[in-house]
Amino acid sequence: MVHTTQSDPGPARHPTVPLRPMRVTAQQAEERAEAFHALMERRRTVRDFDHRPLPEGVLEWAVRTASTAPSGAHVQPWRFVVLTDPERKRRLREAAEAEEREFYGRRASDEWLTALAPLGTDAHKPFLETAPAVIVVFEVHKGPHTPRPYYTKESVGIAVGFLLATLHQAGLATLTHTPSPMRFLNEVCERPAEERGAYVIPVGYPAPDARVPDLRRKPLEEVMIVL
Ligand code: IYR
């Protein structure tokens, strides 16, 4: 507990401002929720990207939106490193593929490899170079200039959800890639030790001939329980 006395009242509360609530009527509410579902339902993880460059400004808006996510104690423990330089992407690919060869060849259990088999993934990660941009998302832990974060994984996960949703509605495809371990990302991205790589997200237009697995999403009845 923070000890407070009359002479030391402890940390000051945030000043407050009026909420600017969204004014949505009950009728509009369902329409809007359904329309947003229709948009999100079309998002697919894409592994084949076009070389076409990204439109101006989209990444900035997507990162601004990601950064509106709620976070433990409002610490905002995230950093988004955008790689577009071909040489930098090449180094990223090289280091990621070295880890992935280790993963697929040695570290992954048979159970894990069996679960992945239907996706057809392997240690080749050409998309890290093909995609015009790769966003590397870091968790920011306690360091010389950064406070201790709380619920770090949850906070950064929600922010990445916002990021993927924003890019999708802007017409761009993404891949949530998670090489493991991710320590090599600090060197490739020139980030200090208190930052820990969490996601590698290639972003771009899908290749014209891109195909995706014919996956089904669980029906509502299976994922939602109303008590
Ligand atoms: N990180 C590896 C393996 C991998 C793991 C899961 I779980 C996936 O859904 C997909 C891939 C890779 O990127 O290939």
Instruction: Read off the pLDDT of residues 75-114 as tens digits, 9 standing for 90 and up.
Output: 999 999 999 999 999 999 999 999 999 999 999 999 999 9
Mutate to test the pocket of ligand 1, among 112, 121, 176, 182 (most ligand atoms within 8 A of CB): 121
Q: Which atom of ligand 1 is nearest to the CA of 115?
A: 7
Q: What is the pLDDT of residue 3?
A: 64
Q: What is the pLDDT of residue 181?
A: 87
Q: What is the chain's Cα-based Rg?
A: 21
Mutate to test the pocket of ligand 1, among 97, 99, 116, 212 (most ligand atoms within 8 A of CB): 116
Please state, in angstroms and rounded to a whole number, the distance separating the CA atoms of residues 126 and 92: 11
Residue 68's pLDDT band, with cuts at 50, 70 and 90, is very high
Question: Distance between alpha carbon 153 and the CA centroid of its chain, in Å?
Answer: 11
Q: Which domains does the chain have, with CATH numbers?
A: 44-208 (3.40.109.10)
40 C-alpha to center of ligand 1: Å? 22
Is 50 in contact with 204 (CB distance < 8 Å)? yes
- 111 or 3, which is more confident: 111
The pLDDT > 70 percentage for the chain reads 98
SS3 helix, strand, coil % of the chain, rounded to 5?
40, 15, 45
Please state, in angstroms and rounded to a whole number, the distance separating the CA atoms of residues 185 and 81: 10
Q: Which atom of ligand 1 is nearest to the CA of 108?
A: 3
Question: Between vectors from CA 60 to CA 58 and to CA 63, what angle results, nearest 5°?
Answer: 110
Please state, in angstroms and rounded to a whole number, the distance separating the CA atoms of residues 152 and 189: 20
Kindly give, in sequence order, each residue whose CB lies less than 8 Å from that of residue 171, ignoring residues fewer than 6 positions away: 205
Residue 40 Rama label (left phi>0; alpha psi -120 to 50; beta): alpha
